[in-house]
Structure 1
Amino acid sequence: MENAIYHSMMSAKQLLEKQTIISNNLANISTNGFKEKFNYILQDENTNNLFNNHHPIIKEYYNLSPGILHHTQRNLDLFIKDDGWLTVKDINGEEAYTKNGHLKINAARKLTIQDNEVVGHNSNIEIPDNVNLKILSNGIITVIEKKNKKIFTNQIGALKLVSLPWQNLIQKENGLFYLKKDFKSNKYSHIINHNNNIRVQAGFLESSNVNTSKNMIEMISNARQFEMQMKMISTCDQNFEYANQLININN
């Protein structure tokens, strides 16, 4: 009976964790470039390990397939092709990666994505006042100026575009992706360098790749399974009470 309660409690805990992930997926349906997150559980088949702190191993994985492409006709909207990623600095100054190509210029004339500064290739990116920007397919940022009826194009920087090892990625609550740190040293296994082969396309945005129907079905299924585990625990608790009553009667 103790085994049954243990299994039910562990299953309920895992279902709650799944619901949290699914809720986050559904909350980001409208987030540009968002990638679905799931987890799967590696069960320990040795029942002798149930009470020896051997818990199921939960692994996370991400659906990195592209979302639907939308034509925005905005120069600062970018679609990062194939396995390419944009590089940003989070609020802690840590390098992170995103597929969200909705760029904005903040008050300090910096390119940002969701208030995170965009990292440049070999130099910081500063946007001059009152200029028209154009981002080329290789990530080079140019300004277009018209003087004396002539058009001048000058390069002011370039985006840091990277290709990431998907097996070493982890997504944090801010929606950005990071490289997993080495367990022993608590440092990144290596630094990701700019990749000259990555291409972007201006005027387009990639939508979230969350499958709404699939996530809703998973959420309903998990809720029903959670109710079943709660009923199992309640039934075991009642059986304990009946057993205690019988013992008291016999005594």
Structure 2
Amino acid sequence: MNSGINAVLEAAKNTVIQHEILLNNLSNIDTTGFREQTFSLILDKKKNNVLKNKEYYLKPVVSYSDKPGSIQETNRLLDIAPLQNYWITLKNPILNQEMYTRNGHMSIDSKNRLTVNNYLVLGEKGYIVIPNYENINFLEDGTIIYTIKGKKKYLGKLKLTWLRSKDVKKNGYSFCYDIFNKTIENKKIKENNELMNEKKIKSKSLETSNVDLTKNLLQSIDCCRKFDFYTSIVGHDIENNNLLNKFVDINS
């Protein structure tokens, strides 16, 4: 197969990858805190084992958009919307590792601990126990206050992690993300330099998905058209090769 057709097949493959990403974005347009995936191609090198050299090719790169979703007020005491690039930190008890989400639709488990989709929400000093959620208030920095008999009691502070969407990766849970190691140093720098009065969350609210419906629909249609174009080129090439083989057979 010639290099031209190989390039067409590679382009078709990348188009399929992009289309799957767009469809996933569209299917999560109503998912709280969902981050839109983006697709791009960059020039990279790969080793050619036959020619013993390196050649350039277009490498697909999938990342996430930092564009914030809109904030919707819910008036529900256990709902919070992370602001800027702050993420709610959860604990995966099975893998014993941290996960990150912008889905602030929280609940309380049988042990009065804060959870998101049954995963424990981490505070700066461990899990957060809520004695009576009807009397709690989330402050803008993530501090949780419990009011009883007119007196306010400190319950804890949410562990809010500063992350760029380009440095997160999807894990096996639809509402959670993991981080690459390279973000840890940047995260520490942010934590050391942040202002104490910086607004990190908005209470009684949720962040909607940041998926751009119109853009994803148009790009999805464009992908379908491109794929049809690429497959037609390959089809014509196969047809021409068949005709050439018949001609050779007749004249041999």
TM-score bracket relative to the smaller structure: 0.7 to 0.9
Aligned to 2:5: 5
Q: Matched residues in 2 for 1:127 and 1:117: separation?
A: 12
Match of 2:87? 85
What is the DSSP-based 3-state SS (H/G/I as helix, E as strand, rest coil) of the residue aligned with 1:119?
strand
| More strand as a share of residues | 2
Change (3 A) 1:240 1:118: same
2:155 equivalent in structure 1: 156
The one-letter code sitting in structure 1 at the alignment partner of 2:11 is: S
Measured at CA, do residues 130 and 172 of structure 1 come closer, stay the same or move farther in structure 2, by a change above 3 Å? closer
Provide the rounded CA distance (Å) in 1 between the counterparts of 2:29 and 2:166: 24
Q: Which moved more, 1:170-179 or 1:35-44?
A: 170-179
In the comparison of the two structures, how many residue pairs are matched? 241
For the aligned residue pairs, the C-alpha RMSD in angstroms reads 2.8
Separation (CA, whole Å) in 2 of partners of 1:32 and 1:178: 17
**Which residue identity does 2:127 align to in structure 1?**
N
- Distance in 2 separating the partners of 1:58 and 1:89: 31
Amino acid at match of 1:222: C
| Partner in structure 2 of residue 36 of structure 1 | 36
Change (3 A) 1:87 1:198: farther
Instruction: Indicate if the aligned counterparts of 2:65 and 2:165 stay in contact, CA closer than 8 A.
Output: no
TM-score (norm 2): 0.84
1:59-74 matched pairs, under 5 angstroms: 59-74=61-76
2:14 is aligned with 1:14: yes
Percent identical residues: 27
Q: Displacement of 1:106 after TM fit? A: 2.1
Residues 189-240 of structure 1, C-alpha deviation per residue, up to 9 Å, x if partnerless? 5594566545212111111111111111111110111111111111111111
Aligned ranges 1:219-238 → 2 under 5 Å:
219-238=220-239
**Distance in 2 between the 1:120 and 1:236 partners?**
61
Instruction: Kindly report structure 1 stretches of 4+ aligned residues shifted beyond 3 Å.
Output: 43-46, 48-55, 188-198
Going from structure 1 to structure 2, the CA distance change for 1:140 and 1:237 (only over 3 Å counts) comes to same
Q: Gaps spanning 5+ residues in structure 2: where?
A: none
TM-score between the two structures when normalised by the length of structure 1: 0.84
Secondary structure in structure 2 of the residue aligned to 1:26 = helix
Shift in Å, 1:78: 1.0
Structure 1: which 5+ residue stretches go unaligned?
A: 183-187
In structure 2, C-alpha distance between the alignment counterparts of 1:53 and 1:83, rounded to whole Å = 38
d(CA) in 2 for partners of 1:111 and 1:100?
Answer: 13
